[in-house]
């Protein structure tokens, strides 16, 4: 199996070591792991909503675009309601 990697096995090895260390830390300190996961998911949801908003602006003449816009606003509101401490106050101003 290592023959397929050739001389490029070392970065994969260190990536595996790093992921194992981070996994052990997540088990030992679950509070920080939870906070990091919440922070990451909050930003991913916010970014996804921004991309969907741009798509809705470009496709505003397509039937169903108003419903898509409502869905985007609900996603944005849900993101701000579920992870307010991981998002800057300039994005979620209602808390």
pLDDT digit string (tens) for 5-23?
777 888 888 999 999 999 9
pTM of the model: 0.52
Angular region, 64: left φ>0, alpha ψ -120 to 50, beta rest: left
d(Cα 33, Cα 25) in Å, to the nearest integer? 8
Q: Give tens-digit pLDDT for 51-78.
A: 877 887 887 777 877 787 788 788 777 7
Q: 48, 45, 47: which is closest to 78 by C-alpha?
A: 45
CB 56 within 8 A of CB 69: yes
Pull the structure tokens for residue 9: 């096995």
């Amino acid at each position: 199996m290592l023959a397929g990697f050739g001389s490029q096995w070392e970065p994969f090895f260190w990536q595996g070591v790093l992921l194992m260390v981070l996994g052990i830390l997540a088990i030992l300190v679950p509070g920080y792991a939870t906070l990091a996961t919440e922070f990451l998911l909050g930003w991913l949801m916010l970014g996804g909503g921004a991309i969907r908003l741009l798509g809705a602006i470009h496709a505003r003449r397509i039937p169903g675009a108003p419903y898509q816009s409502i869905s985007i606003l609900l996603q944005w509101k849900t993101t701000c309601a579920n992870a307010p401490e991981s998002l800057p106050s300039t994005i979620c101003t209602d808390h």
